[in-house]
Structure 1
């Protein structure tokens, strides 16, 4: 009874508690030759099988993407003269490098490369999206935010084809970027050309109306010539900004910094016009004054739109899509894949780990079976 009581008082040790770290190390040391030999054998086999893998060559190119000139907004603000400071000191945001990285990864450029190099047949893909996926898996594109450089790498079994594909990526980006920029510049140039024609017709009509009204010295005394010219110039600047905002909103949202910048300046000009209109003399000479101010307004507006039109023409003719190539992709002289030595070492380490787990598991299972039998 006392012996049974002692057995109940002391907790029964679980068979798993008998396998401590010293037991595990002992078992590994006991079978060290088998573990090492087996791991080396598997590593050697993996190293040998790696020779069956087709070698891959990596071609690299580096370039600086096109820089946004911001000509449209700068032209709009420069037309305001001293009032340009009302828009704030922040300039237009340039197109980010991530945008050009996205263009390089677009389906449009991928399809052009697939067609040019017959990649669908080369990759033995059935569908176009499969070919795009294989091409993207063999392409790596990174953008350095500090230096603004885009690095592009292409893997291929043919070293010359790898270099050709990498260089063609840059060529297709040039074509794609240039077509997008040219379309935008053409649209702005045509828009301002139409606005100039309409303003020119209104300017002639205002001039004819002013000539028929006659000259009244009392009108000049009621509102000096300089005040009328200032009113017309300010109103023309406001109309120019509103036209410019209309153009910008076709490709930007109202929350864009460029749009908000011009909108804030337009609000200031509206306040100035309201203050000028409050000072307007409503006497018998108002008819002449209103016609004179309308004439000066149309004259100033035509001048402002002419500047915008010339700026749009310059943007259309200016090549601001130039890509500055730092490194042209050269034909690689040595394979980049597979890394046979790394494959052999990794396979050896993984095999050793797996064999160790199998050895310890087998020892635990054997011990548990013997313990259960006794």
Structure 2
């Protein structure tokens, strides 16, 4: 420390010693005032509640994605990239729909001494804290002079959010159920029409198992053609050996005619043909028609089954009474006040008043030096000080000359 710095330090201590009465008075008066103020300030209590983030709803059964989306409040919303479903819940808590219910239920206009909804809403939001934590949880807290009211209002926010959620979800499910029922009736008509067309085809062509009947028809045709070839060979051989007028040849000819008629019945549509046989010549064409009709029935049956499941699920969800939000911590009646922070008020006032007193002491010392250098400026300055700080020790009241 240089000689100059040492002199300044001791000069500062000299000033503090000379003005110690004023410094003590300022600090003591300010601190006592802070103590009195802190004691008379009303106590406020803050109740807190914590909500889990909205769960991602997965389909409960196959083909039930529409119902699952309907029971998610944020489904179908085009949310910004950084916006989460929890952020949506936080904004819903500040909505007019939620807050107006609380204002009416707890008569907050009289409690906050306001005259209209906007003023009451602003007052409620002033005492309410709604934020998303770093972990993604939703924190709700309300401050009030009555600890019971603080807890009731906090839980009221949660209850109203759940009611709004249920109303929105119920409307979505009702709309979904109406659509599913309408589509279910259409598909039922399509299914009945497809089944009737398939039944007509089966009755007309006597088909039960198309593939099996096709195999049987082809096997029958092959066996008949083999037998016909054998008879043709036998007929020609006997014709050479026995002559054309032989009775055996007449019998063979009759057998050949019978087999040809059977082949004709197999290869063409004949209402008198075997029930398990199909017209072989028409099999490619009939197979295509059968597959189209059969596939229409199967598709309609599968779609009808899915829609029937969705319809039943929508009915169950519509009458379900389970809560739509997950509460981790309900608000409890707080036992410890949230404010005023009396210790902080007193310590803060003490620190500020001490700094102010030091500044004022240095200022007064400056005026003393000013008196020695410029008496006119000194008189003006002292007149100002006496008017505003004449009550302090060390500051004398004076009149401007």
Q: TM-score per shorter chain, which class?
A: 0.5 to 0.7
Q: TM-score, normalised by structure 2?
A: 0.58
Query: What is residue 210 of structure 1 aligned with on the other side?
Result: 198
CA distance in 1, matches of 2:333, 2:301: 62
**Matching residue within 159, 183, 199 for 2:187:** 199
Query: What is residue 339 of structure 2 aligned with on the other side?
Result: 337
Q: How does 1:271-286 map to 2 (within 5 A)?
A: 284-285=285-286, 286=288
Contact kept? 2:62, 2:306, Cα under 8 Å: no
Q: How does 1:293-304 map to 2 (within 5 A)?
A: 293-304=295-306
Cα shift at 1:150 = 4.0
**Matching residue within 149, 163, 172 for 1:161:** 149
**Matching residue within 73, 81, 97 for 2:86:** 97
Cα separation, partners in 2 of 1:340 and 1:306, compared to 1, 3 Å: same
Q: How does 1:1-374 map to 2 (within 5 A)?
A: 27-28=15-16, 31-64=19-52, 67-71=55-59, 75-76=63-64, 96-146=85-135, 149-213=137-201, 214-215=204-205, 284-285=285-286, 286-323=288-325, 325=327, 327-361=329-363, 363=365
CA distance in 2, matches of 1:195, 1:124: 55
Cα separation, partners in 2 of 1:328 and 1:207, compared to 1, 3 Å: closer
3-state secondary structure, aligned to 1:59: strand
Cα separation, partners in 2 of 1:70 and 1:366, compared to 1, 3 Å: farther
CA distance in 2, matches of 1:50, 1:344: 8
Q: Which has the higher contact order (CA 8 A, sep 6+)?
A: 1
CA distance in 2, matches of 1:77, 1:98: 24
Cα shift at 1:367 = 5.2
**Quick check: which has more Rg, 1 or 2?**
2
CA distance in 2, matches of 1:105, 1:98: 11
CA distance in 2, matches of 1:199, 1:50: 75
Cα separation, partners in 2 of 1:324 and 1:108, compared to 1, 3 Å: same
Cα separation, partners in 2 of 1:212 and 1:328, compared to 1, 3 Å: closer
Cα shift at 1:346 = 1.0
Contact kept? 1:59, 1:155, Cα under 8 Å: yes
CA distance in 2, matches of 1:348, 1:73: 68
Cα shift at 1:138 = 1.0
Q: TM-score, normalised by structure 1?
A: 0.62
Deviates more, 1:288-297 or 1:191-200: 288-297
Contact kept? 1:66, 1:320, Cα under 8 Å: no
Cα separation, partners in 2 of 1:220 and 1:31, compared to 1, 3 Å: farther
3-state secondary structure, aligned to 2:91: helix
Cα shift at 1:25 = 6.5
Cα separation, partners in 2 of 1:309 and 1:21, compared to 1, 3 Å: farther
Cα shift at 1:319 = 4.4
Aligned length, in residue pairs: 279
Deviates more, 1:179-188 or 1:125-134: 179-188
**Tell me, which stretches of 5 or more residues in structure 2 are unaligned?**
67-83, 215-283, 376-401
Contact kept? 2:58, 2:65, Cα under 8 Å: no
Deviations 1:83-117 (A, max 9, x none): xxxxxxxxxxxx83333332222222211111111
Deviations 1:108-163 (A, max 9, x none): 221111111111122111221111111111122344453x6544322222233223
Contact kept? 1:53, 1:338, Cα under 8 Å: yes
Cα separation, partners in 2 of 1:199 and 1:370, compared to 1, 3 Å: farther
Contact kept? 2:54, 2:85, Cα under 8 Å: no
CA distance in 2, matches of 1:142, 1:120: 25
CA distance in 1, matches of 2:131, 2:32: 36
3-state secondary structure, aligned to 1:34: helix
